[in-house]
Amino acid sequence: MNSTYTPVAKGLHWLMAALIIGLLVLGIYMHELPLSPEKLQLYSWHKWAGVTVFLLVWLRLAWRLTHRPPALPEAMSPLMRLAAHTGHAALYALMVVIPLSGWLMSSAKGVQTVWFGVLPIPDLLARDKELGNLLQLVHKGLNITLMLTLAGHVGAALWHHFVLKDDTLRRMR
Amino acid sequence: MKHLITTLALGAALSVSLAGANAATFQAVAPEKSSVTFSYKQMGVGMDGKFKKFTAQVNLDTAKPAQAKGRIDIDLASIDTGSSEADDEVVGKSWFNVAAYPKASFVLKSLKATGTNQYEATGQLTIKGQSRELQAPLKLSPQGALTGSFVLKRADYAIGEGMWAKFDVVANEITVNFNLNLK
């Protein structure tokens, strides 16, 4: 049994961590801005990064399914194991559905996503203002769920590291 | 008798030639079946919108296009960009300045036939106090659907000033499409 994650898994974990935290901060900041060229620019960047996460998460899922991660620390209770697995499953699910909800929202709001301003991503929905507003709420709700799940994820990692003093966090180094 | 036959023959020939040219006269526009839309690029993304209110006057005898008259007056506040935030923005001072210039107008100066059911219109486009002459190719279906489009440069009319003046986010070229249902 490996005692650490593969370099690819670690690379994807930290790359996506940086992208997702950046996306969260940008998303919270940009939607309050009054309309300006900068706002439109930030929205485009947010969408480009979101599409990137959406592509990377599939790569990451494929890697995860073909490369067994190190086992959880033996001292963990069944309840803690269940919490860990549920948390990780929720993070994967959110990494898929959050970009998807953004993509659908963009389509419904009539602003196609063009990845890095070059590659047009097909619109999945026809323009529909009300549906667009609803999807905006869905995107927001999912992101609040993500922030809470991330808080649990980071909190658990720090708890393992500083309180339980096991090597859970170090395995992702 | 011979005179009468000649007259009838001439009359028949004349009506055949008129029918062959599909000559028709149009004197009004059905606004509910007409549209004025526009499209442009924003951050490399194709965007489009429309104007919900406009009036159009047309007087066209397809046998005499040179004598055609026409104009379109667009109520700029009726813009629908697809986003209420953008609708509120573009009626403001730096875009259309609707308070001072509520309408955009296109006044036909000359019309010439360029082919079957095809014309070229030359006219004066006035937006935000700026007037420029432009040409637009037109197509007219025998049923009276007049369609055409032209590309304007928004900077020519000071549409999008100040922080919007650069073209890196909102492109300079705006395509305007119109579809007028003539009666």
Predicted confidence pLDDT, tens digits, chain B (183 residues) = 556 555 555 555 555 444 445 578 999 999 889 999 999 999 999 999 999 999 999 999 999 999 999 999 999 999 999 998 999 999 999 999 999 999 999 999 999 999 999 999 999 999 999 999 999 999 999 899 999 999 999 999 999 999 999 999 999 999 999 999 998
Q: How many angstroms separate the CA of residue A102 from the nearest CA in chain B?
A: 16
pLDDT at B16: 45
Record the tokens describing residue B179, joined without a space.
């579809």
pLDDT at B20: 46
**Interatomic CA distance for residues B106 and B123, integer angstroms:** 6
Q: Does a structural domain hold residue B7?
A: no
Burial class (CB in 10 A: 0-12, 13-18, 19+), A128: middle
CB B148 within 8 A of CB B167: no
Which site among B43, B80, B85 would you substitute to test the A interface, given the most A Cβ atoms closer than 10 Å to its Cβ? B43
Nearest CB among A37, A41, A109 relative to B83 is that of A109
Q: Does a structural domain hold residue B146?
A: yes
Classify each residue of A132-160 as buried b or exposed e, where b means 16 or more C-beta atoms within 10 Å of its C-beta.
beebbebbeebbeebeebbebbeebeeeb
CB B123 within 8 A of CB B92: no
Residue with tokens 């930030």: A42
Residues whose CB falls within 8 Å of the CB of residue B92, separated by 6 or more in sequence, listed in order? B98
Q: Does a structural domain hold residue B14?
A: no
pTM of the model: 0.85
Please provide the DSSP assignment of chain A as one string: --SS--HHHHHHHHHHHHHHHHHHHHHHHHTTSPS-HHHHHHHHHHHHHHHHHHHHHHHHHHHHHHSPPPPPPTT--HHHHHHHHHHHHHHHHHHHHHHHHHHHHHHHTT---EETTTEEPPPSS---HHHHHHHHHHHHHHHHHHHHHHHHHHHHHHIIIIIS--STTGGG-
Residue with tokens 């928004």: B154
What value of ipTM does the predicted structure carry?
0.83
User: CB–CB of B166 and A37 under 8 A?
Assistant: yes
User: CB–CB of B42 and A40 under 8 A?
Assistant: yes
CB B66 within 8 A of CB B111: yes
DSSP state of B15: H
Q: Does A107 touch chain B (CB under 8 A)?
A: no
**Interatomic CA distance for residues A87 and A70, integer angstroms:** 16
Amino acid at B104: A
Q: Does A114 touch chain B (CB under 8 A)?
A: yes
Q: Give per-residue pLDDT as tens, A108-142.
A: 999 999 999 999 999 999 999 999 999 999 999 99
- CATH number of the structural domain spanning residue B161: 2.40.128.110
pLDDT at B19: 46
User: CB–CB of B43 and A41 under 8 A?
Assistant: yes
Q: Does A68 touch chain B (CB under 8 A)?
A: no
Spell out which residues of chain B touch residue A125, defining contact as CB-CB under 8 Å. none
- Domain of residue B43, residue span: 23-181
Low-confidence ranges of chain A (pLDDT < 70): 1-2
Q: Does A129 touch chain B (CB under 8 A)?
A: yes
Which site among B37, B40, B42, B90 would you substitute to test the A interface, given the most A Cβ atoms closer than 10 Å to its Cβ? B42
Spell out which residues of chain A touch residue B163, defining contact as CB-CB under 8 Å. 36-37
User: CB–CB of B45 and A36 under 8 A?
Assistant: no
Q: How many angstroms separate the CA of residue B141 from the nearest CA in chain A?
A: 29
Q: Does a structural domain hold residue B11?
A: no
pLDDT at A2: 61
- Total domains in the fold of chain B: 1
Spell out which residues of chain B touch residue A43, defining contact as CB-CB under 8 Å. 43
Q: Nearest CA to A130 among A112, A108, A107? A: A108
- Domains recognised in chain A with CATH numbers: 7-172 (1.20.950)
Record the tokens describing residue A145, joined without a space.
């769920």
Q: Does a structural domain hold residue B156?
A: yes
pLDDT at B23: 78
